């Protein structure tokens, strides 16, 4: 199993009928065979959204033989039970508020595990993101900015940028090495 790897997905995640999504997710699935995989729906803005997100993701991954463990809160104990953690989409500001108090635990987990961030999840794992014209410092598990639901050209601003279109993704080792990349992903340093 891969360790110390970020899987960054551009959004509109977990769709079995999308070849681009399947290509990227297949790399993730092969990387976590036999692993204990959790899902933390902390970007969901309501209980109904949380339930729907976990049910949808669980259904998708069960098609590939992966059973997800629903994580209701991030803690040293909950992370100790996992080898991989999925952070699905929703509100990046809400997700960051849920994860920021546990940054040290997530950094420790990242050194031994795999993090899959989809949409909001990808945004918060990097150095930060802009939402509503305001810059929000992220968890900085990598020195990148993930631009999700991406179309067009990367903006002219400094730093490492990942343009992640919907249904596509990028796998990055903690060394910065690109392990897998969907064809539409753009990278600029």
Distances (CA, A) of 27 to 7, 80, 101, 113, 168: 10, 24, 30, 15, 12
Q: What is the mean pLDDT of the chain?
A: 95
pLDDT tens digits, one per residue of 72-103? 999 999 999 999 999 999 999 999 999 999 99
CA atoms of 49 and 164, how far apart (whole Å): 23
Q: Which domains does the chain have, with CATH numbers?
A: 5-188 (3.40.50.880)
Q: Is residue 118 predicted with pLDDT exceeding 80?
A: yes
pLDDT-derived band at 43 (thresholds 50, 70, 90) equals very high
Q: What is the model's pLDDT at position 20?
A: 66
């Amino acid at each position: 199993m891969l360790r110390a790897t970020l899987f960054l997905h551009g959004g509109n995640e977990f769709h079995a009928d999308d070849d681009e999504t399947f290509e990227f997710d297949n790399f993730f699935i092969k990387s976590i065979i036999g692993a204990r995989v959790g899902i933390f729906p902390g970007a969901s803005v309501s209980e109904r959204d949380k339930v729907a997100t976990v049910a949808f993701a669980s259904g998708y991954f069960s098609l590939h033989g992966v059973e997800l463990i629903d994580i209701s809160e991030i803690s040293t104990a909950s992370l100790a039970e996992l080898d991989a953690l999925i952070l699905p989409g929703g509100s990046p500001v809400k997700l960051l508020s849920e994860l920021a108090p546990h940054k040290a635990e997530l950094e420790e987990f990242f050194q031994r595990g795999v993090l899959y961030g989809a949409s909001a999840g990808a945004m918060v794992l990097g150095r930060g993101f802009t939402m509503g014209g305001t810059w929000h410092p992220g968890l900085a598990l990598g020195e990148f900015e993930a631009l999700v639901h991406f179309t067009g050209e990367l903006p002219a601003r400094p730093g490492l940028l990942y343009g992640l279109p919907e249904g596509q993704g990028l796998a990055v080792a903690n060394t910065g090495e690109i392990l897998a990349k969907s064809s539409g992903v753009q990278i600029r340093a």
